[in-house]
């Protein structure tokens, strides 16, 4: 099913951008994990709209309601249903786009697939669908913490042509949250803020890259063939709206190295086997090797912009479009918790799978 993700730790997201609510059903969460709505709210607040001048002005509190699966502050091992009500929906703002296909959006492809589409903010194609992923990712983080199996930190490493110069392995959550761009490099963050604001005022948009590091991941997670850890990480991140590229470790830069310069030599220090370098990004042969996992996700510029564009309507007639509605001029600052959530979901699922075969 297209809205279901995971094997043992499974999530099913539901809801449309301008419907009554959005949310997620989480199945396979172990019992006796301490969990409250406040745990989810921390992550949802980082994802919600209207949090700065760099994001969509849509005002949503995004308050999480846990309707099942938790009793007396602990998970029961049964399905957890999380709901977030849409409170600032304005479907009328999209009336002019009822019969027009927005360039590089999902309007045409959804209609080609289903013969019908929700034109109110894109329906399921809206990034509002990711509320369920972020809520589920918060639960996955609790499971990982319970078993001491990883801490996930993401940050904006590039916006347009501006790149961060920080060491990704040294970045902390506190570093990330100091800037509205969620870039831990203060010099780059200032320039990113200016560049995004310029694009917003011009009715245009920008893309960029989110880098994510998972610390403390034990060796042995992942499958050797079709569900390699990096393959599942790639599938999870590329399923995010606007994500168009994925790299792990050295990524495409590895093509410019020799094997002698790229191979991660093994050493033993303090009685622990590890690698001297980490070009592999923490995964070898599809299985985690105990080093920090490093991934990068590339996001295209937001598809819906105010600038006039050429497109067609349902009748195949050429028309001009100046899109209305409320949209992020750059998705990167709000994409950070989304990327972290998907990485946490993959790690949690593989952790439970590994515990199942190792027990």
Q: What is the pLDDT of residues 330-350, one digit of tens each?
A: 999 999 999 999 999 999 999
pLDDT at 1 over 60: no
Residue among 314, 343, 349 at smallest CA distance from 101: 314
Locate 291 and state its tokens. Answer: 């080093």
pLDDT at 204 over 60: yes
Pick from 74-88, 109-123, 169-183, 243-257: least confident: 109-123
Q: What is the DSSP letter of 105?
A: S
Distance separating the N- and C-terminal Cα atoms of the chain: 30
- CB under 8 Å, gap of 24 or more: what pairs does 141-146 form? 141/43, 141/344, 141/348, 142/33, 142/34, 142/35, 142/39, 143/9, 143/29, 143/30, 143/33, 143/348, 143/351, 143/352, 144/344, 144/347, 144/348, 144/351, 146/30, 146/33
**Measured between alpha carbons, how far is residue 223 from residues 2, 247, 250, 266, 322 in Å?**
22, 19, 21, 21, 47
Strand partners, 246: 297
Give me the half-sphere count of Cα atoms (radius 13 Å) on the Cβ side of residue 288: 26
Residue among 67, 129, 28, 78 at smallest CA distance from 338: 129
Locate 268 and state its tokens. Answer: 């033993």
- Say what the pLDDT of residue 50 is: 65
Residue among 346, 356, 357 at smallest CA distance from 144: 346
Burial 278-300 (b: 16+ CB within 10 A, else e): bbbbbbbebbbbbbbbbbbbbbb
Helix-helix angle 37-47:332-358, to 10 degrees: 140
Domains and CATH numbers, the chain: 4-358 (3.60.150.10)
Q: What are phi and psi of 79, to 5 degrees?
A: -60, 135
In sequence order, the 6+-apart residues with CB closer than 8 A to the CB of 267 are: 273, 274, 275, 276
Looking at the chain, the whole-number percentage of residues with pLDDT higher than 70 is 94
Give me the half-sphere count of Cα atoms (radius 13 Å) on the Cβ side of residue 45: 7
pLDDT tier at 93, thresholds 50, 70, 90: low
- Write down the pTM of the prediction: 0.94
Per-residue pLDDT of 277-312, as tens digits, reads 999 999 999 999 999 999 999 999 998 888 888 888
Locate 147 and state its tokens. Answer: 């078993």
Most confidently modeled range among 93-102, 134-143, 195-204: 134-143
Q: What is the DSSP letter of 280?
A: T
Report which secondary-structure segment, H or E, holds 5: strand 4-5
pLDDT at 52 over 80: no
Q: Which residue has the tokens 């005002």?
A: 59
CB 230 within 8 A of CB 283: yes
Distance from C-alpha of 268 to C-alpha of 272, rounded to nearest angstrom: 5
pLDDT at 89 over 90: no
CB 9 within 8 A of CB 112: no
Locate 127 and state its tokens. Answer: 């990034």
pLDDT at 29 over 80: yes
């Amino acid at each position: 099913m297209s809205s279901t993700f995971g094997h043992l730790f499974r999530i099913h997201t539901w809801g449309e951008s301008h419907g009554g609510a959005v949310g997620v059903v989480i199945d396979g969460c172990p019992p006796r994990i301490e969990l409250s709505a406040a745990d989810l709210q921390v992550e949802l607040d980082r994802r919600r709209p209207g949090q700065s001048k760099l994001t969509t002005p849509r005002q949503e509190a995004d308050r999480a309601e846990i309707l099942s699966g938790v009793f007396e502050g602990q998970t029961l091992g049964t399905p957890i249903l999380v709901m977030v009500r849409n409170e600032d929906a304005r479907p009328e703002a999209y009336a002019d786009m009822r019969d027009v296909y927005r360039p590089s959006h999902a309007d045409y492809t959804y209609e080609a697939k289903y013969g019908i589409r929700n034109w109110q903010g894109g329906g399921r194609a809206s990034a509002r669908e990711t509320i369920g992923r972020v809520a589920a990712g918060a639960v996955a983080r609790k499971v990982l913490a319970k078993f001491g199996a990883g801490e996930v930190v993401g940050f904006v490493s590039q916006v347009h042509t501006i790149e961060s110069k920080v060491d990704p392995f040294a970045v902390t959550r506190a570093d990330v949250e100091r800037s509205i761009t969620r870039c831990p490099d203060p010099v780059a963050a200032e320039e990113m803020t200016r560049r995004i604001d310029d694009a917003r005022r011009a009715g245009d948009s920008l893309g960029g890259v989110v880098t994510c590091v998972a610390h403390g991941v034990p060796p042995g997670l992942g499958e050797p063939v079709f569900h390699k850890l990096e393959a599942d990480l790639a599938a999870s991140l590329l399923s995010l709206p606007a994500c168009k590229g994925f790299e792990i470790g050295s990524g495409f830069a590895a093509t410019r190295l020799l094997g002698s310069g790229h191979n991660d030599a093994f050493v033993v220090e303090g009685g622990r086997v590890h690698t001297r370098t980490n070009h592999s990004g923490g995964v070898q042969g599809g299985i985690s090797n105990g080093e920090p996992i490093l991934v990068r996700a590339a996001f295209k510029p937001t598809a819906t912009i105010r600038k006039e564009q050429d497109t067609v309507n349902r009748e195949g007639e050429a028309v001009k479009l100046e899109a209305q509605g409320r949209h992020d001029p750059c998705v990167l600052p709000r994409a950070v918790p989304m990327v972290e959530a998907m990485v946490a979901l993959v790690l949690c699922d593989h952790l439970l799978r590994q515990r199942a075969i190792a027990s």
